[in-house]
Amino acid sequence: MNKLYVVGLGPGGACGMTAAARAALEAAEVICGYTVYLDLVAPLVPGKELRSTPMTKELDRCALALALAAEGRTTALVCSGDAGVYGLASPLLELAPAYPAVEVEVVPGVTAALAGAAVLGAPLGHDFCTVSLSDLLTPWDRIETRLRAAVAGDFVLCLYNPASRRRRDTLRRACEVLLDAGRAPGTPCGWVRNIGRGGQSARLLTLEELRGAEVDMFTTVFVGASATRVEGGRLITPRGYKR
């Protein structure tokens, strides 16, 4: 079987990469990915062939990786975070049946929810859910339904893709949905920008304050549950052992 690795690089690229991800890159003859991610791994894989496609060409990227592997070349397709969490593992596996000679291995990475939570403290200490605020692939009414369901279930929320140049007010709208659904204005929250990269920054704030926060696509946002609190400058959601 011809081998294709789908590799999550972690949110910070090379500095957050797992040992399994490094091993997959070393085993590959050719590495495919978006230019930004290839730039992150290039110093680690000198001499490897690098193949890129532009932003928004994710399906083309997956098809390219499958075609290269079908030719008998061991290939790695890279993306940020974990390949199976808002990454390329899902679309690639949807296309894979058309390439029966290719054996696909999904290599786990560290998604932004986990890496960002570690920066803030332990906000994901109990049940949580992740919601992407990008409406490019998911209609806003469905995103709103998921936000309201998270409040009803008293989940900690980790919000991906909170804003972009086209969607400047998405986080504000999401906060207003959460407040309307019953999450308290004083709920402890936090955000982390450029997780694991140069210029990493973070802030703790309330849900009311989060409405006006300046964030971008490199920011991951955390909204606490009813039990979440701030202790010693750290965001914590107790697991409940003291009870």
Same domain (yes/no): 122, 215: yes
- Using the predicted structure, report yes or no on whether residue 210 has a pLDDT greater than 90: yes
- Using the predicted structure, report yes or no on whether residue 232 has a pLDDT greater than 90: yes
Query: Could you tell me the pLDDT band of residue 94, with boundaries at 50, 70 and 90?
Result: very high
Kindly state the tokens that stand for 97.
Answer: 């049946």
Over the stretch 46-69, which tens digit does the pLDDT of each residue have? 999 999 988 778 999 999 999 999
How, if at all, do strands 102-107 and 2-8 pair? parallel
Same domain (yes/no): 118, 77: no
Model pLDDT, residue 176? 98
Write down the mean pLDDT value for the chain.
94
Beta strand spans in 29-140 (E): 30-34, 49-53, 75-79, 102-107, 121-122, 128-132
Same domain (yes/no): 173, 198: yes
Backbone φ and ψ of 239, nearest 5°: -80, -25
Same domain (yes/no): 94, 169: no
- Using the predicted structure, report yes or no on whether residue 9 has a pLDDT greater than 70: yes
Span 89-118, average pLDDT:
96
Same domain (yes/no): 154, 211: yes
**Contact 188/159 with Cβ under 8 angstroms?**
no
Model pLDDT, residue 15? 60
Model pLDDT, residue 14? 61
Same domain (yes/no): 82, 194: no
- Using the predicted structure, report yes or no on whether residue 18 has a pLDDT greater than 80: yes
Span 228-233, average pLDDT:
97
Higher confidence at residue 148 or residue 37?
148
Domain termination residue (choose one: 60, 87, 107): 107
Domain termination residue (choose one: 71, 90, 107): 107
Model pLDDT, residue 100? 96
Model pLDDT, residue 75? 98
Decide if 242 is inside a domain: no
Half-sphere exposure of 69 (CA within 13 A, CB side): 31
Over the stretch 145-203, which tens digit does the pLDDT of each residue have? 999 999 999 999 999 999 877 878 999 999 999 999 999 999 999 999 999 888 999 99
Same domain (yes/no): 154, 117: yes
- Using the predicted structure, report yes or no on whether residue 243 has a pLDDT greater than 70: no
Q: What is the CATH number of the domain that holds 134?
A: 3.30.950.10
Domain that holds residue 23: 2-107
Residues 6+ apart with CB under 8 A from 78: 7, 8, 9, 25, 31, 32, 33, 37, 38, 41
Same domain (yes/no): 88, 163: no
Query: Could you tell me the pLDDT band of residue 241, with boundaries at 50, 70 and 90?
Result: confident
Decide if 81 is inside a domain: yes
Domain termination residue (choose one: 88, 107, 126): 107
Model pLDDT, residue 66? 98
Same domain (yes/no): 130, 207: yes
Span 110-115, average pLDDT:
94
Model pLDDT, residue 13? 65
Same domain (yes/no): 21, 102: yes
How many domains does the structure of the chain reveal? 2
